[in-house]
Amino acid sequence: LSLENSLRRALERQEFLLYYQPQVDMPSGRVIGFEALIRWQHPQMGLVSPARFIPVAEDSGLIVPIGEWVLGEACRQNRAWQEQGMPAVPVAVNISALQFRQPQFEASVERALAESGLEPAWLELELTESMMLHQGQGATDLLDRLKARGVRLSIDDFGTGYSSLAYLKRLPLDKLKIDQAFVRDIASDAGGAAITATIIQMAHNLGLSVIAEGVETEAQLEFLQAHDCASAQGFYFARPMPAADIRAFWDGRR
Ligand code: G
Ligand code: G
Ligand code: MN
Ligand code: NA
């Protein structure tokens, strides 16, 4: 059976699950949100990495129903955490370019919110620079409407998209996520450090929040704090983990 065919059946067989990776405030270490990251528990292959199946899902169009499932499940889980008494924070969901271009995308966001009862402010959509590049007025209007609803908008992998920066002032964005490649190079490469510092500064100047991704070491953390980066995500703080482990993680931090 091809990966694509297995993928096709995975939704109905409920083989997907979401892991969640905490995002923390610096220097307090307070949890300020979670990123939802899909995993595929295949009955024979075991846990399949999204790096392997997301490209297949994108090429086959299956990313659309899969992405709709992710939106619904992330909203449902975040609402459930709130009902269990955890402090309300946003859950960030990765959106594929193909999913974003579907006419029903906005309706799928609304459905996820309505079915879960989650307030829009506790949902964050992770978009990419390349998605902004080829989009016209329709996409700007769509983002304006989502923003007016209270949904948060961030740019994932910021700095890798080869796009013009003009969209940053045109679109109603909330946050830039500094790509892990720059963060990884902070200690070893003057270029990585310079780019990271510049993105932080630019975000401040534009009134956007900024988060560093892929933080793994104390040295990276120190650099980020010295450059006023207010939040971070990475193995240094926590790996992505199943929803059931998030409660314990949170309790251990209070
Ligand atoms: O969590 P991990 O490092 O395995 O993720 C690998 C890649 O898969 C990352 O680029 C991440 O953005 C992407 N990814 C993870 N979950 C989702 C998802 O729900 N939807 C989409 N479109 N991409 C995802
Ligand atoms: O493309 P996106 O930024 O959504 O990808 C997130 C991916 O980064 C996930 O696969 C997640 O598992 C991975 N990730 C998260 N934190 C770290 C980290 O500290 N180091 C590395 N190498 N990968 C990380
Ligand atoms: Mn992401
Ligand atoms: Na990223």
CATH number of the domain enclosing 119: 3.20.20.450
Q: 153 lies in a domain?
A: yes
Atom of ligand 2 minimally distant from the CA of 179: 3
Residue 166: per-residue pLDDT: 86
Would you say 212 and 229 are in contact if contact means Cβ atoms under 8 Å apart?
yes
Q: 29 lies in a domain?
A: yes
CA distance 11 to 198: 42
Confidence of residue 162 (pLDDT cuts 50, 70, 90): confident
Residue 165: per-residue pLDDT: 86
Q: What pLDDT digit, counting tens, does each position of 106-115 carry?
A: 999 999 999 9
CA distance 59 to 50: 14
Q: What pLDDT digit, counting tens, does each position of 204-216 carry?
A: 999 999 999 999 9
Neighbours of ion ligand 3 (CB under 5 A): 94, 126, 156
Confidence of residue 254 (pLDDT cuts 50, 70, 90): low
Ligand 1 atom 20 nearest Cα: 94
Q: 184 lies in a domain?
A: no
CA-nearest of 217, 119, 250, 233 to 176 is: 233
Atom of ligand 1 minimally distant from the CA of 57: 22
Counted domains in the chain: 1
Q: What pLDDT digit, counting tens, does each position of 55-102 carry?
A: 999 999 999 999 999 999 999 999 999 999 999 999 999 999 999 999
Residue 214 alpha carbon to ligand 2 centre in Å:
6
Q: In a 3-state reduction of DSSP, which class is residue 215?
A: coil
Residue 155 alpha carbon to ligand 4 centre in Å:
8
* Residues of the domain holding 75: 3-176+239-253
Would you say 94 and 126 are in contact if contact means Cβ atoms under 8 Å apart?
yes
Q: Is the ipTM of this complex over 0.95?
A: yes
Q: 116 lies in a domain?
A: yes
Q: 171 lies in a domain?
A: yes
C-alpha gyration radius of the chain: 18
Q: What is the mean pLDDT of residues 242-253?
A: 88
Angle at 126 between CA 173 and CA 89, to 5 degrees: 85
Structure tokens at 40: 């595929």
Residue 204: per-residue pLDDT: 97
Percentage of the chain lying above the pLDDT 70 cut:
99
CA distance 173 to 143: 8
CA distance 37 to 185: 24
CA distance 48 to 41: 6
Q: Answer whether residue 133 shows pLDDT above 80.
A: no
Q: What pLDDT digit, counting tens, does each position of 43-68 carry?
A: 999 999 999 999 999 999 999 999 99
Q: What is the mean pLDDT of residues 209-234?
A: 97
Percentage of the chain lying above the pLDDT 90 cut:
85
Q: In a 3-state reduction of DSSP, which class is residue 200?
A: helix
Q: Which of 21, 75, 94, 154 to mutate to test the pocket of ligand 1 (most atoms within 8 A of CB)?
A: 94
Can you tell me which residue has the tokens 């899969």? 66
Q: 186 lies in a domain?
A: no
Packed helices 63-83 and 105-116: angle between N→C axes, nearest 10 degrees: 30
pTM exceeds 0.80 for this model: yes
Q: 27 lies in a domain?
A: yes
- Is 230's C-beta closer than 6 angstroms to any atom of ligand 1? no
Residue 1: per-residue pLDDT: 66
Q: What is the DSSP code (8-state) at residue 118? A: -
Residue 120: per-residue pLDDT: 98
Confidence of residue 182 (pLDDT cuts 50, 70, 90): very high
Chain mean position to CA 151: 13
Q: Answer whether residue 20 shows pLDDT above 70.
A: yes
Residue 8 alpha carbon to ligand 3 centre in Å:
23
Reported as type and span, the H/E element at residue 158 is strand 152-158
Would you say 39 and 242 are in contact if contact means Cβ atoms under 8 Å apart?
no
Q: What is the mean pLDDT of residues 186-204?
A: 94
Q: 218 lies in a domain?
A: no
Q: Answer whether residue 24 shows pLDDT above 70.
A: yes
Q: Greater confidence, 1 or 36? A: 36
Q: Which of 21, 125, 183 to mutate to test the pocket of ligand 2 (most atoms within 8 A of CB)?
A: 21
Q: Which of 40, 41, 54, 96 to mutate to test the pocket of ligand 1 (most atoms within 8 A of CB)?
A: 54
Q: Answer whether residue 42 shows pLDDT above 90.
A: yes
CA-nearest of 178, 182, 100, 105 to 133 is: 100
Residue 236: per-residue pLDDT: 97
